[in-house]
């Protein structure tokens, strides 16, 4: 399946390859690294017109599922406003960072 990027710069493939290599090297499970991976994924995702193309890129280039990518991106967005949760286990952060988590649950944590 061909990737349909949002933009067509001549160096798009180089950008994607570079991001894939850097993201793979960062796949350590610390909250800071997870948030950094999420930030990079958000940057990459912005280059695609269709979510399906981004999901294919994630699976093919990084070898991770789109659910894992969502967890990373949600964590990045969550940690921008909730830095006091950085001591928690990544799985707890994933749950708190999920878009459907009630604010009351976040405050109780």
- Domain coordinates in residue numbering, the chain: 12-108
Q: Is the pTM of this model over 0.85?
A: no
**pLDDT tens series, the chain, 109 aa:** 566 656 666 688 899 999 988 887 776 557 888 999 999 999 999 999 999 999 999 999 999 999 999 999 999 999 999 888 877 888 899 999 999 999 999 988 8
**43: closest CA among 4, 76, 3, 65?**
76
In sequence order, which residues have a C-beta less than 8 Å from that of residue 55 and are 6 or more positions away? 66, 69
**93: closest CA among 29, 31, 27?**
31
In the 8-state DSSP scheme, what is residue 46? T
Rounded CA-CA distance 30/106 in Å is 20
End-to-end CA separation in angstroms for the chain: 42
């Amino acid at each position: 399946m061909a990737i349909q990027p949002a933009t067509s710069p001549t160096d798009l493939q180089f950008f994607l390859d570079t991001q894939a290599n850097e993201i793979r090297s960062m796949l350590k499970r610390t909250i800071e690294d997870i948030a950094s991976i999420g930030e990079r994924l958000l940057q990459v995702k912005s280059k695609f017109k269709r979510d399906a193309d981004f999901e294919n890129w994630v699976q093919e280039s990084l070898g991770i599922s789109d659910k894992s990518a969502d967890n990373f991106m949600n964590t990045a967005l969550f940690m921008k406003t909730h830095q006091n949760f950085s001591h928690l286990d990544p799985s707890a952060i994933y749950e708190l960072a999920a878009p459907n988590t009630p604010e009351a649950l976040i405050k109780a944590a």
